[in-house]
Structure 1
Amino acid sequence: MNVAIKRVVSRLKPYLRWAILGGTLFFLAKALKDNWQEVLAIRISTSGWTCLGIAVAVTLLAHTWTGWVWHWILREFDQQLGLGWCIRIYLKVNIAKYLPGNVWHFYGRIWAAKTAGVPLGVATLSVLMEPPMMAVGALLLALISSPLASRIIQLPILFAVLILIHPWCLNPCLQYLAKLTGKKKSIESGVDQIIRVKRYPILPLLGELGFLGLRGSGFLLTLLALSPISPSQLPLLLSGFSVAWLLGLIVPGAPGGVGVFEATAVGLLEHDFAPAVVLSSVALYRLISIVSEVGGAALAWLNEPPSDRSSNQDQG
């Protein structure tokens, strides 16, 4: 029975992805059709362009910061790779998340860490731990900035996720995966290699919360470039951004969360802000994200030591 269900799910999964993508694109197209005149009427002032430039810098800083957080996660597994190396690798491969499959940026970091001498199991887990930490960071930011009524719904979900990333729950999963990835190596060395998280990953969790705060700031600056924002609107914007970003992370849509984030942000914010402003903001923010990621990859490549470039060419 379970095998039959798994087969049905595996067959339907590609169609589900396309259905979600089609639904989000239809929603965005309808919103644009209803507000296209207002969108075309929007003009960006000189101060607005300044805000957009700062938004690009803040978004690039957010991705750089996440490379630092990956360095912390590796240290949780007693892997002492250089901070600069972690940031460069993260920035170089992060743009690959827009490729079909939405996994190639993960694979790039795993392969780079393995090439640098990190055991395959540890390299894999250091990368796979990142999405849950980001999800918890998004939930925390949404919880902090949301009204009391929404917190009642979000609190149980947040507590459940916080429990799931506790070492009591993480370590059994890590040990199982370590046996799968390191079985041959363990037999050859005669040592039973067990990967463990020794303590609650509070530092990586706080790091990912900082990442979401920076990404949210970039979104606020993008919206500010198009329309004034009052201080009382900041919690609503941060909460809406956090929920939209979280759904873009976990919902199986287009690579990089394209479409899911935009549709969710428009649906959550169009009742409190002009729909044309929200539509323009999410479109500009996506462009800002791509520009910052391309710029980060270029900077990482330009700052790569010549020895690393020659070794990469030799491997290719």
Structure 2
Amino acid sequence: MTVSLAALVFVGLAIHRSFGDVQRQLVSPLFLIAILGCAVAYAVILQLVAIAWYRFLVLVDGPSLGLGRALAIFGRTQIYKYLPSNVMHMVGRFALARSAGTSNRALAVAQMGELSVIVLAAGGSGALLAWPIFQAAYARYGPGHPTLTVGLIAAGLLAIAFGMGLLFRFRMADIGGRALITSAEAFFLYALFFMGNGFLIVALVRAINDGGHIAELIGIGATAWLVGFVVPGAPGGLGVREAVLIMGLTAAGLPLPSATAVALGNRLVTVLGDCLVALAELVLRKGKSA
């Protein structure tokens, strides 16, 4: 909770220091069009994460749930992450899938598999593509600033803890060999998601500024997502993700107003994208029941 509050204060100060410029960039027609287009694209690439979750369910239970039903459950619960605690979407997904007949063992394996592999995919993408950027950001904002430091430490500990738990769970479920294949499939899907999410950040940057290399921007996006994911108490990574984006983008050479506008625009993209997925699921469900 302390880290989340510190991140919100950091973002608030960034907005305050360049409020006029940020406001002008946020209402720019090109930037608004980019936000809407990226929101639709985000709703599409989010299905990669849903498919990876489904693959972990299949690992234990087989295709009993069905891909369409799994995508519907994932889409309906995605907006729950904006409730306090940053885990309610996982709780809702567990409850709905369990009521649909999925076993507790499959859900436990899927949850642990998702948490461990997605952290590794995000961390690997960030380290591979933007390590020098975050070295510069760490030097600029220093160990005295808790958001980046605590977030990265938490990410590492979470990956180790869930990795060990995942191995234990797989051994208990007697699926060790197939688990490696499923984990590799999931890692590939998550990597594609972070690549796509990074290109959306590139699109937002290009709509208002010409700075930043594409690979670095993709890595910055993955790292911001990771830190927002592992820091507890921030619904949907609110504040934390924006703070890390601002740090990374300014370290990559973007002016503070542009970095702040992109961070806020990215938040709009993800919220709108999650709402689009939930709305599509609702429309399909109503159509089937009519």
Range into which the TM-score falls when normalised by the shorter chain: 0.7 to 0.9
Note closer, same or farther for the CA distance 1:28–1:48 as it changes in structure 2 (3 Å cut).
closer
Between Structure 1 and Structure 2, the one with more helix by share is 2
> Is 1:297–2:281 an aligned residue pair?
no
State the SS of the aligned residue for 1:303: helix
State the SS of the aligned residue for 2:248: helix
Name the counterpart of 2:175: 196
Name the counterpart of 1:187: none
Structure 1: distance between partners of 2:228 and 2:102 = 30
Residue 208 (structure 2) aligned to one of 206, 222, 226? 226
Note closer, same or farther for the CA distance 1:281–1:205 as it changes in structure 2 (3 Å cut).
same
Name the counterpart of 1:3: none
1:129-140 matches, within 5 Å, as: 129-140=113-124
Give 2:276's aligned amino acid.
G
Q: Relative contact order: is structure 1 or structure 2 higher (C-alpha 8 Å, sep ≥ 6)?
A: 2
1:244-263 matches, within 5 Å, as: 244-263=224-243
Q: Tell me if structure 1 keeps the 8 A contact 2:26–2:265.
A: no
State the SS of the aligned residue for 1:96: helix
Name the counterpart of 2:109: 125
> Is 1:68–2:51 an aligned residue pair?
yes
Residue 212 (structure 1) aligned to one of 183, 190, 194? 194
Write out per-residue CA displacement over residues 179-211 of structure 1, whole angstroms, 9 at most, x where no aligned residue: xxxxxxxxxxxxxxx463433110011111111
> Is 1:54–2:33 an aligned residue pair?
no
Structure 2: distance between partners of 1:239 and 1:293 = 22
4+ runs deviating over 6 angstroms: 148-151
Structure 2: distance between partners of 1:42 and 1:246 = 26
Structure 1: distance between partners of 2:78 and 2:39 = 16
Q: Which runs of 5+ in 2 are unaligned?
A: 136-151
Q: Tell me if structure 2 keeps the 8 A contact 1:35–1:275.
A: yes
Q: Tell me if structure 1 keeps the 8 A contact 2:22–2:257.
A: yes
How far 1:161 sits from its partner (Å)? 5.0
> Is 1:91–2:70 an aligned residue pair?
no
* Stretch deviating more after TM superposition (141-150 or 23-32): 141-150
Name the counterpart of 2:147: none
Structure 2: distance between partners of 1:149 and 1:64 = 29
How far 1:293 sits from its partner (Å)? 0.7
Structure 1: distance between partners of 2:133 and 2:198 = 22
Give 1:243's aligned amino acid.
T
Percent of aligned pairs with the same residue? 20
Q: Tell me if structure 2 keeps the 8 A contact 1:51–1:225.
A: yes
Give 1:268's aligned amino acid.
G
Q: Tell me if structure 1 keeps the 8 A contact 2:115–2:162.
A: no
Name the counterpart of 1:4: none
Name the counterpart of 1:188: none
State the SS of the aligned residue for 2:208: coil
Q: Which runs of 5+ in 1 are unaligned?
A: 1-16, 177-193, 311-316
Structure 2: distance between partners of 1:40 and 1:218 = 20
Structure 2: distance between partners of 1:48 and 1:64 = 25
